[in-house]
Amino acid sequence: MLELKDRLILFFKSFFLQSVFNYEKFQNIGLLFIISGFAKKIHPDREELKKFIERYNEIFNTQPYMAAFVIGNIIRMEYDKRNEKDIENIKQSLACAYASIGDRIFWSRLRVVVAQFTFIIFIILYFCCYNFGVAEITFVSVFVPTLFYAIYTLYIRYVGFLYGWNCGGEKNCGLDKFNWNRIIRMSSRAAFFLSVVMFLLVIFLYGFYYITSEKMIENLIYITIPFIGFFAQRYFRKDRKNIFYPVITVIVFSFVVCIFI
């Protein structure tokens, strides 16, 4: 059984998974650091420990928040003295699976949602809380979404070790513990909804402050910039282009507007 003390040690060490990241074998040294304490317990003999280190001195790369599911599985298989080839195959297959899931949840969606929440909270507080300064409003708008992001990532890191240990040796270890596809769909819908809210806020602000001014045409053009960004992102996403393309599109459009309007 993976005791609470062991889980806390693994949890703390997991923050150093990418501390010696390299482009030859990626996170291999970080993985060895995390499981080194258990390796010494499993292989007290020096020669066996040396062979263990050589086995794990190979390519390892996964999403850092999701690595706990893979590492818990590895430790359990080593305790059970599973076949070395089976351990390597399951380790690599799970690392790839969790890398894909983690990137889609955290990098592609949750970070976007947090950034959108930051913008919306800042706008609401800025126009509704006149008694607070810009510094206080900025702190709150950044701190609250970031705290949510941090708590969720810490939770995934912590529970992953226990799930990985309990299902050690299975190729789908931990993949069925959470409905990952549902989380991805919900995150996508949340990001889309918040994008709409942001666009409406921008339109409202420009409409409330500038539509009746003498520069109505110019302000209407400025209002289209968020829509240009949205449609550019959707267009380039179909061709699986990098986020660099829609960003450059918005920058070029803004530059043209500033010169000719």
Tell me, yes or no, whether 69 lies in a domain: yes
Span 63-83, mean pLDDT? Answer: 92
Tell me, yes or no, whether 68 lies in a domain: yes
Residue 223, pLDDT above cutoff 90: no
Task: Place 205 in a pLDDT band, splitting at 50, 70 and 90.
Answer: confident
Residue 55, pLDDT above cutoff 70: yes
Residue 65, pLDDT above cutoff 60: yes
Tell me, yes or no, whether 178 lies in a domain: yes
Span 240-254, mean pLDDT? Answer: 77
Query: pLDDT: is 150 or 44 the higher one?
Result: 150
Dihedral angle at the C-alpha atoms of 101, 104, 105, 111, nearest 10 degrees?
Answer: 150
Residue 63, pLDDT above cutoff 90: yes
Tell me, yes or no, whether 230 lies in a domain: no
Are 113 and 71 within 8 A, CB to CB? no
Tell me, yes or no, whether 167 lies in a domain: yes
pLDDT of residue 217: 67
Residue 26 Rama label (left phi>0; alpha psi -120 to 50; beta):
left
Span 101-110, mean pLDDT? Answer: 91
Tell me, yes or no, whether 232 lies in a domain: no
The rounded percent of the chain whose pLDDT value lies above 90 is: 38
pLDDT of residue 206: 65
Tell me, yes or no, whether 245 lies in a domain: no
Q: Tell me what the pLDDT averaged over the chain comes to.
A: 85
Tell me, yes or no, whether 235 lies in a domain: no
Q: Which three-class secondary structure string do you get for the chain?
A: CCCHHHHHHHHHHHHHCCCCCECCCECHHHHHHHHHHHHHHHCCCHHHHHHHHHHHCCCECCCCCCHHHHHHHHHHHHHCCCCHHHHHHHHHHHHHHHHHHHHHHHHHHHHHHHHHHHHHHHHHHHHHCCCCCHHHHHHHHHHHHHHHHHHHHHHHHHHHHHHHHHCCCCCCCCCCCCCHHHHHHHHHHHHHHHHHHHHHHHHHHHHHHHCCCCCHHHHHHHHHHHHHHHHHHHHHHHCCCCCHHHHHHHHHHHHHHHHHC
Kindly report, residue by residue over 135-148, the tens digit of the pLDDT: 888 899 999 999 99
Span 212-229, mean pLDDT? Answer: 68
Q: What CA–CA distance (Å, rounded) separates 215 from 254? A: 17
Are 113 and 106 within 8 A, CB to CB? no
* Domain limits for position 195: 4-210
Give the chain's domain count: 1
pLDDT of residue 147: 95
Q: For 15-29, 181-195, 235-249, which range has the lowest pLDDT when averaged over its residues?
A: 235-249
Task: Place 209 in a pLDDT band, splitting at 50, 70 and 90.
Answer: low
Residue 244, pLDDT above cutoff 90: no
